[in-house]
Chain A
Amino acid sequence: MYTAPFQYLRANSVADAEQLFKEHADAKYLAGGQTLIPTMKQRLATPPALIDIGRIGALSFIRREKDKLVIGAGTRHADVADSAEVKAAVPALAVLAGQIGDPAVRHKGTLGGSLANNDPAADYPAAALALGARVRTTRRVIDAREFFTGLFETALEEGEIITEVAFPVPERTGYAKFPNPASRYALVGVFVAKFRDAVSVAVTGAAPCVFRHTEMERALARSFSPDAVAGVKVSADGLNSDLFASAEYRAHLIGVMAKRAVAAALQ
């Protein structure tokens, strides 16, 4: 299967990439390509030019800085999953990265690509939102809480590139997902982060966009245990309903995945 014709351009730096973007109207950035290329093969996307940012070495790193973990936007899922630094600082982030797609996809797909695409069933948005990550771009720093704006929509402007993401290191983290058995995307995924003074719970896969479950957060702040989650009623209002799962089933799964995520965080 061939994509529509396009012009391939390779960027050697983010500055180079932004310059190329200015010179080529309607171009798209190509990072790992694990979503973009299948989309182009189905002709659901037909960009006239691709700017390859997947080989910019400076975008690929994992670094611990005191109370945060900073990961370059070009870092592959497999590298996050295997990183001793990630496992030590935010263990659930390594677990999450190791559950994206399959091994071959994880060798190509990138953190920045996943966040920028903001697929409603992608895993990384849940971690970024729950942890209150700071998304650094070529132009500014965006709080994860303002970054995810809707279905496949983010606060990114035309041509703006994510360069790194800083994840605050909490006391405990847990991630549990119920994967679609075919695609491995989350039917429902729940990321739980326990900070010294607060708990945050982010849900992916269930609604048009990743969101925080504040009722669950309050219950877990009172008592950080799977039982605390069991008492929270999850509404099906606004949740997705499709051939894989009804909104009611997804609401039920949010409770189950949240319990599992908390149990994982307590291990």
Chain B
Amino acid sequence: MSAIRIVKRQEPLGWSSCLVLLAAILISLVLSGCILFIGGTPPLQGLAALFKGGFGSRFAFEDSLIKATPIFLCSLGVAVAFRLQVWNIGAEGQFALGAVGATWIALSFPGAPAYLLLPGMILMAVIAGGFWGFIPAVLRQKLKTNEIIVTLMMNYIAILILDYLVYGVWKDPASFGFPMTSEFSSSAIIGRIGGSNFHWGLVHCVILGLLCWLFMSYTRIGFEIKASGNNVRAARYAGIPYDRLVMLVLALSGALAGWAGFLEASSTINRLQPSIMAGYGYTAIVVAWLARLNPLYIGIAAFLLAGLRVGVEGLQLDLQVPAAFGGIIEGLILLTVLAGGLFTQYRIVTGAKK
């Protein structure tokens, strides 16, 4: 029988897996162009505007880098959990609670000096986000609930908590009824690096990314995470405390997302308002998977997808394309990259079966 069939590769595909990735992204862009066409936008002009808006100017470049910071931190956390085969879909909610935690400290101690206030805000953000990640971990290990659904439901709950606070008790009396807290005092705001447009959050990202990489590569726990992720049963058999590992990883994952929430409130918006929820937590999942859970690649992928987001904003202004188009591209990229995974694990052969 002469037919196309697929055969498992003996060794994983090397550098040419980059080609598969590129091809996947190219296909998803072509499909996105088709969808632009359906929506009545000239596709080539649209995609050109997308790239120009995202990466085509100094301003766009800077904006993309700034937007990449929360995505990067969320994605770093998501990746650690995914490595353990624990599906934390809750970065969005953990980010929200982080922002709430940081805001609580900022509003409670407006007169505190920056060297006390900022660490306090970070600490609270990390605790709040970590706590939000810890709950589904406990439910998963003690009661065997499905963490995918619990983390996702907790996203909705966290966003509604944030709404409740900014529409209610935390609403700035001087905001003319708009749902937002009053602006943070200057000591609660992370400053910019020198005379540039980048805030110090960028440095946080580099340090945390490096720590994460060291943690995963050179510590015992990091090794245990990787081992358990590959085979839970074997890990338990080898005496790895799997339950505690899951709780640690989800709390860590939530803490990183919470830190991102702090950065966004403190440096980008300087207050808490509903628009802080821009779906970074979901983009982080796309990023983590694109980057194959590797911290360095996460940095690159976070920047690229942040650029897409900035580009979509430009597209919205130039050609009146709805902002939801960003979700379409992200979904398509993830689907095509997943499909492309086949070619890195299997060989396509034609000809008769031996």
* B is bound to A: no
A residues near B (Cβ < 8 Å) are none
B residues near A (Cβ < 8 Å) are none
